[in-house]
Amino acid sequence: MSQSKKAGFTLIEVLIVVVILAVLAATVIPQFTDSTTDAKKSSVLFNLHTLRSQIQLYRAHHDGDVPGSDLNELTIATKADGTAGGPFGPYLSKIPVNNFTNSSTIKVVTADPVSADFNDTDGWLYNATTGEIWINYEDLGKE
């Protein structure tokens, strides 16, 4: 009488497959994490460029004056003196979001930002005297 051998994988074969999958996962997963950060960085830099260009356009229309501390003037039509209801603007439909803080709020600073100015709450750092604006994210804040 002959015994039939059962078909299947040995423990060694299964372990080899698990090790191969672990090595593949270890090389692929960090690339996905980096791509998320790269996408956030690209988006926030685009939003920064948009804000800066619209602030400059506002200045050109308003005799060198800059928008107020909340940048509200960029989202409404204004007169040459900056009050609502004129022929200029709106320059933006809304203040864009900073993808690193998930906020579009403005924090007013009086000089170039330093480490103490950065927080996880506000979206942008804005100097209402000079019209300069920065990303509220320390790694990109000097962009």
The answer to whether position 119 is within a domain reads: yes
How many angstroms separate the CA atoms of 110 and 101, rounded? 21
- What pTM value is reported for the model? 0.78
Contacts of 124 (CB under 8 A, 6+ apart): 51, 71, 95, 98, 104, 105, 106, 107, 133, 134, 135, 136
User: 7: burial class by Cβ within 10 Å (0-12, 13-18, 19+)?
Assistant: exposed
**Domain presence at residue 15:** no
Residue 33 lies in a domain: no
Residue 73 in domain? yes
Q: What is the pLDDT of residues 2-31, one digit of tens each?
A: 566 777 889 999 999 999 999 998 888 877
In-domain check, residue 19: no
Contact 143, 135 (CB under 8 A): yes
How many domains does the chain fold into?
A: 1
Task: Answer whether residue 62 is part of any domain.
Answer: yes
Say if 52 falls within a structural domain. Answer: yes
**Positive or negative, the Cα torsion across 130, 111, 114, 118?**
negative
What is the domain extent for residue 91?
A: 39-135
pLDDT in tens, 86-122: 999 999 999 999 999 999 999 999 999 999 999 989 9
Pick from 71, 118, 70: nearest CA to 92: 71
Answer whether residue 20 is part of any domain: no
| pLDDT at res. 12 | 92
Q: What is the pLDDT of residue 7?
A: 79
